[in-house]
Structure 1
Amino acid sequence: MSEESRDADFSQAKRTFLDLMGKWTEYELERRQRERELRERTQHLSALVETTPECIKTVAADGTLLQMNSAGLRMVEADSDSDVVGESVYDLIASEDRQRFRDFNERICEGERGTLEFDIVGLDGTRRHMESHAAPLRRPDGTTVQVALTRDITKQKERKRELERVERQFEAAFNNPSSFVALLDPDGTVRRINQTALEFAGIDESDVQGERFWETPWFVHDEELQDELRAGIERAADGEYVRSEIPHRSPDGETVIMDAMLEPVYDEDGEVVAIMPSGNDITGRKEHEERLEQQNERLESFASMLAHELRNPVTVGQIYSQQLREETDPEAVEYVSEAFDRIEDMIDVILVLTRGREAVGESKPIDFAEVTREAWDEIDAPDAALDLELERTIEGEETYLRHMVRNLLENAVEHGGSDVTVTVGELPSGFYVADDGPGIPPEDRNTVFDQGYTTAADSGGTGLGLAFVRKLADVYEWDITVTESESGGARFEFRNVR
C-alpha cells in the first residue's frame, strides 16, 4: 500500500464535498443524540407527571381543560381523560368559588404566577378542598395557558379546623372569668396565667412568666403553702392529679379559699409535657358550710335539750295515765295515753333527725318480722291487712327500727285507704314495704323523704315520718328507693341491709 499523499488525486470539488459530508455527519450524530436525550427527558417527565399524587393540568384562557394526569382524574372522579379533557374546567369548581377561579385562571394566562385555594365537586358529587400553584406556559402556537400543580388538602383543612376548634375551647376554658388557670412546664415554670388570676393579684403576666409557680405573688405569704405546692407539682409531673383547698391572698389583704387542682398534660407518647393548675373560689361555699355547721350544732343542742326536758314529764304522764280508771272515761284515757306515746315517738324522731348516728344506740340482731308485727299491732286499722313475707334478722336498735316500720305502715294506711293491704317482703340484700294503694307519682318520689313534705297536713301530718325513715336508713348505711308495687301502689325498697 502506498504511503504517498492522495491529495493530488482529489479535485477541489471533491475536497469540498468530503468536507461538507463530514460536517453533515457530525451534525446528524449530534441531532440524533439531542433527540435521544429529549426523548428520555420527555419519558422521565411523563413518568413523573403520571406517578405524582398531585393533580397536574393545563387550562386554556377560556377555561377549557387541555390536559390532566391520572391523579387529577381520580380527584375529579373521571374514569378517563375523555370525560373531562376538552370540557370547561369551571364545571368542576364549586359554585361559590367558580368566579374566583375564573379570575385566577385569566391572570395566570396573562403572565402572572399565583396560588389559590378552592373547592371542587367531582363527577360523583364528592367535594374536596384544593390548593393550586399555577404559572403561565407559552405554547408553540403563541397562546398562553395555565399549568398548575394542585393538591387535595381536604384532610389538612379538617385537621386545621379541628385544631382551631380545640384551641377556641381551650382558650374559653383557660380564660374562664370565674376560675384561676395557669399553664406550667413540668418543673413548675410559669408559661401562662389567665386574666382572672392576674387581676386578683394586681399584676401583669410578664411579671410572673418564667418564674417558679410557688414563688409567684399568690403563694409568697405562706412558706408552708409554697412547700406543699412545690411537692404537688412534683407529683403532677409524675402523672398524678393533685387536688386541695388552699388560701390565696390579694394585695389588699383579702384571703379567699380556692378549690385547687394540678392536672398533668400528656403528649401523644404519654409523657407529661405541662401542668395545668386551676382553682375556683369556694370562699362563699365554705362560709356557708361553716354557718350551716354552726346552725346544726345549735339545732342539735336545742333538740337534745328539748328531748331531755320533754322526756321526763312525758314519762310521768305515761305512768299516771296508766293509773287512770277507765270507767271514768275510757275514750279519754286511751286518747291521753296515745298522746303521750306520740310525743315520745316525736322525741325519738327529732333526735334521729338532728343527731343521726349519735342518737341511735348500739346495734344488735333484731327479729325484723317480730318488730314488724309489733308495729302493725300499734296501728288502728281494723280493715287493713298485713302480708308478712320475710323471716330474717337485721342489725339495728329495736326501738328505732319499730318506729321506722310503723311510719312506713302508717303511711301505707293513711294514703292507701282503710282497707289497704301492706306487704313486707324480702329482697336479696334487704327488704321492701309495698301497698296496693294509689302509689306515689314519679315526680314526687325524690321529695317524699324531705322534712316537712306531707300530703296529709289537714289530718295532722307533720312531714317527719318518711324523713325519719330516710335518716335512719342513712345511719345504718342502707340504700333506699321508691318505686311502684305490682298492684300499682307504693313500694319502698331497702338494700345493703346487714
Structure 2
Amino acid sequence: MADQNGSHRRSTERERGLVAATFDALPAQIAVVDADGVIRETNRAWRQFGAENGVRGERDMVGENYLAVCDGSDDESATGAAAGIRSVLAGERTEFSLEYPCHSPDKRRWFLMRVIALSEYDDPHALVMHIDITDRKEVELRVSANNETLSTVASVLSHDLRNPLNVAMGRAEYLATDPAVGPEVVAEQTESIRSSLDRMNAIVDDALVLASGSEQIDTEHVSLGALARDAWSHVETGGATLDVSADGTLVADPGLLEQLLENLFRNAIDHAEGVETIAVGTTDSGFYVADDGPGITPEDRERVFETGYSTGEADGNTGMGLAIVRKIADAHGWDVALTDARDRTDTDRPGARFEFEGVTRR
C-alpha cells in the first residue's frame, strides 16, 4: 500500500510539474485572478513582458489586484477590460474578449485579451490571457488602407471626370446638331473639347497621386489666380462670375489645387441657389474661396466634408466634392475651415467661405 501511495504521489507531482511547464511554455501572457481580482499566478511570458516594459514592483505581479490596476488607468481599453473580468468573475458570462492597442515608444503593438472562467476552484477564479495579435492587425490595417486607396481613386474619377466630360459632350453635341457653323466656331469648340480631354487625363493622373499619399505630391510655385481661371473654364458655371480679388503665389501641386478649386466652384453652383459671384483670394497664411449664396448652417459645416454626405442627393449629387477638397488639403498639410463669407445684417444670404491655412506663400 505504501508503494502504491508513493507511486501515486510521484505521479501527481509529475502531472503538476507538466502543467506548470506547459503553463510557462505558452507564448501568451497568462495570469490567474481570484474573485477579488487579485493575481494568484502568472506564467513566464507575463513576467518577461513586465521586465521588458518597465512594470513597477514584482515582475510576476502576484498578490497585486489586477482590477485595481485597470481601474487606475485613464485608458478606455483598461476600463473595458476591468468590466469584462468582473462580468466573468460574477458568473454573468463564461468568457470575455477584447482587442486593444498597446504601443511602445518604438513599436506599434496590438493584443487580444481573453478572460475564461475557471471551474476548478471552489470560489470564482478566471484565467486572463493577453495574446499578441500585432501581425494580424498590421495585415488588417494594410488591407483597410488599400481599400481606402481604391475607394479614393474610384470616387475621384467618378466624381471629377463628369465635369470636363459634360463640357466636351456639350461642345460635341453643339457641333453635331448645327453643321452650318463656321470654321472659327468649329476651331473654338474643338479647342474646348481638346482642353476638356486634357483635363480628364490630368484628373486620372491626379487621382493616382492623391491616393498614393501626401509624400508623393509634386509641389511648385503656382499662381492662385491663373489656376482659379483655368479651373473655372472646366466647370459649367451658368450665369455666375469669378472674382479673383487678391492673387498670389502659393506652393502646391498645381493639378491637385486646380482639382480642389473645381470642386469648390461646382459645389457652390450646384448647392447654393442663386450664386452670382464666387471670389478667390489670399490671406496672410493661405487662401479662400467664397460665394454670395445662402451659406451653410453651422451644424452642417463639419458634416459637408464627410464622404457621401450631400444636401442634394435627390438631384443625383454624390457627396464626394468636399470630401475630395479635404483630402487634397490634407495631402498638402493644409487646414480647411468653413465659415460665413461675410458678416452682414442687411441680408439672410451670408455666403460660404472656405479658408485654407498653413499654406506656404512666396
Give the TM interval when normalised to the shorter protein: 0.5 to 0.7
| Counterpart residue type for residue 356 of structure 1 | G
Aligned to 1:328: 176
Ranges in structure 2 where 5+ consecutive residues have no aligned partner: 1-29, 58-72, 86-94, 105-129, 180-188, 345-349
| Counterpart residue type for residue 457 of structure 1 | E
Please list, as runs of the form range in 1=range in 2, the aligned pairs for 1:64-463 lying within 5 A after superposition: 201-204=31-34, 217=42, 220-221=44-45, 225-230=49-54, 233=56, 257=100, 259=102, 291-300=140-149, 327-329=175-177, 347=204, 351=208, 354-357=211-214, 360-463=216-319
> What is the alpha-carbon distance in structure 2 between the residues aligned to residue 419 and residue 257 of structure 1?
49
| Counterpart residue type for residue 254 of structure 2 | E
Q: Deviations over 1:249-278 (max 9, x none)?
A: x9x9x99656489xxxxxxxxxxxxxxxxx
Larger Rg over CA atoms? 1
Structure 1 residue matching 2:304: 3-state secondary structure: coil
> What is the alpha-carbon distance in structure 2 between the residues aligned to residue 479 and residue 297 of structure 1?
25
Please list, as runs of the form range in 1=range in 2, the aligned pairs for 1:9-88 lying within 5 A after superposition: none
| Highest RCO, 1 vs 2 (Cα 8 Å, sep ≥ 6) | 2
Change (3 A) 1:454 1:325: closer
Does 1:490 pair with 2:355? Answer: no
Q: Deviations over 1:14-58 (max 9, x none)?
A: xxxxxxxxxxxxxxxxxxxxxxxxxxxxxxxxxxxxxxxxxxxxx
- Do the aligned residues in 1 keep the contact of 2:274 with 2:293 (CA within 8 Å)? no
| Counterpart residue type for residue 212 of structure 2 | R
Change (3 A) 1:397 1:260: closer
The structural deviation recorded for 1:417 is 3.4
| Counterpart residue type for residue 421 of structure 1 | T
Change (3 A) 1:294 1:429: same
Structure 1 residue matching 2:287: 3-state secondary structure: strand
> What is the alpha-carbon distance in structure 1 between the residues aligned to residue 252 and residue 230 of structure 2?
16
> What is the alpha-carbon distance in structure 1 between the residues aligned to residue 356 and residue 312 of structure 2?
24
The percentage of counterpart residues that share the same residue type is 29
Aligned to 2:19: none
Does 1:466 pair with 2:322? Answer: yes
Change (3 A) 1:496 1:345: same
Structure 2 residue matching 1:424: 3-state secondary structure: strand
Change (3 A) 1:225 1:351: same
Change (3 A) 1:450 1:226: same
- Do the aligned residues in 1 keep the contact of 2:32 with 2:39 (CA within 8 Å)? no
Structure 1 residue matching 2:307: 3-state secondary structure: coil
> What is the alpha-carbon distance in structure 2 between the residues aligned to residue 459 and residue 466 of structure 1?
17
Change (3 A) 1:418 1:349: farther
What is the TM-score normalised by the length of structure 1? 0.40
Alignment size in residue pairs = 250
RMSD of equivalent CA atoms = 5.0
> What is the alpha-carbon distance in structure 2 between the residues aligned to residue 285 and residue 330 of structure 1?
65
- Do the aligned residues in 2 keep the contact of 1:352 with 1:472 (CA within 8 Å)? no
| Counterpart residue type for residue 203 of structure 1 | V
Change (3 A) 1:325 1:363: same
Aligned to 1:3: none
| Counterpart residue type for residue 490 of structure 1 | A
> What is the alpha-carbon distance in structure 1 between the residues aligned to residue 259 and residue 272 of structure 2?
19
The structural deviation recorded for 1:300 is 2.9
